[in-house]
Structure 1
Amino acid sequence: MNGATPPHSIGDLSTRTGVPVRTIRFYSDTGLLPPTARTAAGYRRYDDAAVDRLHLIGVLRELDVDLATIRQVLTGDLSVAEVAAAHADATVLRIRALRLRHSLLRLVARRRPSPEETVFMHRLTRLTCDERRRMVADFVAALGAGPPRARDALAALRTALPDLPDEPSDAQLAAWVELAELMADEDFRARVADAALPPADEDVLPGVDPEVAAELVLFVRRTVAAAREAGVDPESADAAPVVDTVMRRFAAALGRPDGPSLREWAARRFEKGHDPLAERYWQLVWTVNDWQVVPGHLPFQPWMARALRAVTTPTRRGDARAGAK
């Protein structure tokens, strides 16, 4: 400019860029935007390059780049591309954190936990991936130190460990929190040691010929899976035909009449050895891992037991027709 005074005052820069005068003065005092020159009275003046520099500072600050990094860009130690790449990665992590925070807030609002439970839930969601895996490993290891009967449970648990993804859905986060609560419960550890694996088909009906028992239980398993896929509630009227079909098969195979006595016997057999809390654990694992729940792989005993208790006597269409007259 051949010694001419630079044309822009701080006020002019503020008008051109929208940056407050106080902020421009701060940038100037910290060396990010040094004045190009000063007037005889000591007022700062800036050239057109300073306007461009201020625009760049403003963009980087809007992208949440810290002042120290901006200084490196302005001095040429870092390129804008390098800073953009690094902050893009950092932004991904912040987005994940915000999504997790959003899911946690929704979970707290839905569950209405106590203050202590809220703190526990928050701590769980802040665990790193390695910390979550260590927590699961400690739970499994505790079973390994238990009685010999826990060995089958330990083997089963190791085949399907819960692994919360970095960006869980609301359902996955809720399942993870519930799982963590279960794993911290000493009573649950004792229960899952006894019920982590369902009994073999032939063991569900003790006292029955093993081949007959295996065939009957396989029939029940398939029948219950079909009912579940059809959305049949075990305690609804729609469950009655399912129960009738199963019990006719039982009556024929065992040589016993289908009646309250046989149904009570079957209900007790299906209830024995099944722990709904252990079943809940596996359902939560499926949710956390985002695995598809196949109805045929769900324990069939609780559905059948509930249906048998709800439908205590055989459905007789003839009786129904007689009552209608």
Structure 2
Amino acid sequence: MDHSIGELALRAGVTVKAVRYYSDLGLLDSWRTTSGHRRYDEDALDRLELIRQLRALGIDVPTVRAVLTGQRTLSEVATAHAEALGVQIRTLQVRQAVLRVVAQRPEEIDQMSDLTPSDESRRALITDFLDAVIGDDPELQGVRQTLTPELPDDATDHQLCAWLDLTVLMQDEAFRETVRQMVADWRTDELRPDVVSTLRQRVAPALAAALDPASPEARVLIAEITAEYAARVGRPADDQLRIRLSKLLGTAGDPRWHRYLRLLAAVNGWDDPEPLQPIYDWTRAALEHVG
């Protein structure tokens, strides 16, 4: 059974102009009657319906041709197109969320470009920060991974706001210097996690009891902590050690560091980290009263 161009268009649900266009491109076979009118067979109808379906899915004409000629399989094309659409959808989701953030914080519109770069640009910013403060020491790869923000494709407004603040903080040279010093302290084995854990265990009860850092009880406690720390680092528990410990805690207790950890947790969807600054501050205050 053969069809006129009008019949073919009607059955396939497209316009006559579209049939003519695909025919002129060589995607539809036809022949002409003695009067010059185009005629199409059932195979042309099947091809036209496939063309219509693929075009409705947003697949371009060259790719449609590749499918019809067997140069690419329909499965390959569908997979590639689905992946491309996924990227577009994620991009639109981010833009939508950015607009909501702009609505909440219009005064920071100049910084909103930090939210919309490509994944490569975001990774470059993160890599630059971590390279500057940690470097590529294999021993610190675990620490580096833990401190890496990973903004999800379907980020919430809260995550995007946190990312915006984080990008500003990561580019703050004073903050970078603080983190570099913290890493140096970690390398010298002077403020490792076990030391921090000991401080948390010993000082947290004093904080909960509102113990005055200048009280006799605090003096006893801080003397014990200092002695334990001295034994840990192999140094005498003297004024020099107490000054050094106070300096270490001052660096580790930088409010910007806790802010980084909170923003990092928000971006990555983690629980809010425990604030250690009160413990460091109390310990430093108590150290001033031991001599």
Same topology, TM > 0.5: yes
Q: CA deviation at 1:106?
A: 2.5
2:88 aligned to 61, 80, 94, which one?
94
Q: CA deviation at 1:56?
A: 0.5
Identity of aligned residues (%): 36
Which letter maps to 1:59? Answer: Q
Q: State how far apart, in whole Å, the 2-side matches of 1:141 and 1:79 are.
A: 44
1:277 aligned to 214, 233, 256, which one?
256
Question: Could you report, residue by residue, the CA deviation over 1:142-170 in whole angstroms, capped at 9, with x for unpaired residues?
Answer: 3469xxxxx9xx99963623241552522
- Find the residue that maps to 2:211 and give its secondary structure: helix
Question: Could you report, residue by residue, the CA deviation over 1:159-197 in whole angstroms, capped at 9, with x for unpaired residues?
Answer: 623241552522333323322211122233234445689
The aligned counterpart of 1:313 is none
Q: Is 1:218 matched up with 2:212?
A: no
| Matches for 1:151-162 after TM superposition, within 5 Å | 158=144, 160-162=146-148
Q: 1:275 to 1:133 in 2, by over 3 A?
A: same
| Matches for 1:218-297 after TM superposition, within 5 Å | 218=201, 220-221=203-204, 245-247=209-211, 251=215, 253-254=217-218, 274-295=253-274
Question: Could you report, residue by residue, the CA deviation over 1:219-271 in whole angstroms, capped at 9, with x for unpaired residues?
Answer: 553687xxxxxxxxxxxxxxxxx5xx323798561489xxxxxxxxxxxx9x9
- Say whether the 8 Å CA contact 2:265–2:271 is kept in structure 1: yes
1:135 aligned to 87, 106, 125, which one?
125
- TM-score, length basis structure 2: 0.66
Structure 1: stretches of 5+ with no match in the other structure:
146-150, 204-213, 225-241, 257-268, 306-325
- Find the residue that maps to 1:45 and give its secondary structure: strand
2:173 aligned to 176, 182, 186, which one?
186
Q: Is 1:177 matched up with 2:164?
A: yes
Q: 1:79 to 1:191 in 2, by over 3 A?
A: closer
1:42 aligned to 19, 36, 58, which one?
36
Aligned residues between the structures: 242
Q: 1:223 to 1:19 in 2, by over 3 A?
A: farther
Q: State how far apart, in whole Å, the 2-side matches of 1:197 and 1:90 are.
A: 44
Q: State how far apart, in whole Å, the 2-side matches of 1:156 and 1:251 are.
A: 40
- Say whether the 8 Å CA contact 1:133–1:163 is kept in structure 2: no
Structure 2: stretches of 5+ with no match in the other structure:
192-196, 221-245, 283-291
- Find the residue that maps to 2:116 and give its secondary structure: helix
Q: 1:86 to 1:280 in 2, by over 3 A?
A: same
Q: 1:68 to 1:155 in 2, by over 3 A?
A: closer
Q: Is 1:301 matched up with 2:278?
A: yes
Which letter maps to 2:122? Answer: R
Q: State how far apart, in whole Å, the 1-side matches of 2:15 and 2:31 are.
A: 20
Question: Could you report, residue by residue, the CA deviation over 1:245-304 in whole angstroms, capped at 9, with x for unpaired residues?
Answer: 323798561489xxxxxxxxxxxx9x9663222211111222233333353xx3251898
- RMSD over aligned CA atoms reads 4.0
Q: CA deviation at 1:40?
A: 2.7
- TM-score, length basis structure 1: 0.60
Q: State how far apart, in whole Å, the 1-side matches of 2:25 and 2:198 are.
A: 83
